[in-house]
Structure 1
Amino acid sequence: MLNIDSLEKGIVLDHIRAGSSMKIYDLLKLSEMDCCVAVIKNAKSNKLGKKDIIKIEGTTDVDLDVLGFIDHNITVNIIDNGKIIEKKKLVLPQTLTNVIKCKNPRCITSIEEEIDHVFRLTQDGTQRYRCIYCEQEYQDK
Structure 2
Amino acid sequence: MLNISGLTEGIVLDHIQAGKSMDIYFKLGLDRLDCQIAIIKNAKSRKMGKKDIIKIDGGLNLVNLDVLGYIDHKITINIIKDGEIVEKKRVKLPKIITNVISCKNPRCITSIEQELPHIFYLADPKKEIYRCQYCDEKHSSHK
CA displacement at 1:72 relative to structure 2: 1.3
Compute the displacement of 1:112 (Å). Answer: 1.9
Is it true that 1:134 corresponds to 2:128 in the alignment? Answer: no
Deviations 1:51-106 (A, max 9, x none): 10000002221111111111111111011111111111211111101111111111
Correspondence for 1:7: 7
Counterpart CA distance in 2 for 1:38 and 1:60 is 15
Give secondary structure in 2 for the equivalent of 1:109: helix
Kindly state the Cα deviation for residue 24 of structure 1 after the two structures are TM-superposed. Answer: 0.5
Unaligned runs of 5+ in 2: none
Query: In the TM superposition, what is the alpha-carbon distance from 1:31 to its structure 2 partner?
Result: 1.0
Give the alignment's TM-score, normalised by structure 1: 0.93
Q: How many residues align?
A: 141
Change (3 A) 1:79 1:123: same
Aligned to 1:31: 31
How large is the Cα RMSD of the aligned pairs? 1.6
Shift of 1:138: 0.6
Give 1:74's aligned amino acid: I
TM-score when scaled to structure 2? 0.92
Task: Give the C-alpha shift of residue 125 in structure 1.
Answer: 6.2
Deviations 1:105-131 (A, max 9, x none): 111111222111110112686542110
Aligned-partner residue type, residue 11 of structure 1: I
Contact 2:124–2:130 (Cα < 8 Å) also in 1: no
Name the % identity: 60
The residue type equivalent to 2:20 in the other structure is S
- 1-side partners of 2:73 and 2:140: how far apart? 18
Instruction: Find the residue that maps to 2:44 and give its secondary structure.
Output: strand
1:72 aligns with 73
| 1:121 counterpart residue number | 122
- The within-5 A match list for 1:41-56 is 41-56=41-56
Going from structure 1 to structure 2, the CA distance change for 1:124 and 1:89 (only over 3 Å counts) comes to: closer
Give the Cα–Cα distance (whole angstroms) in 2 for the partners of residues 123 and 46 of structure 1.
31
Moved over 2 A (4+): 123-127
Query: Gaps spanning 5+ residues in structure 1: where?
Result: none
Cα separation, 2, equivalents of 1:122 and 1:54: 30
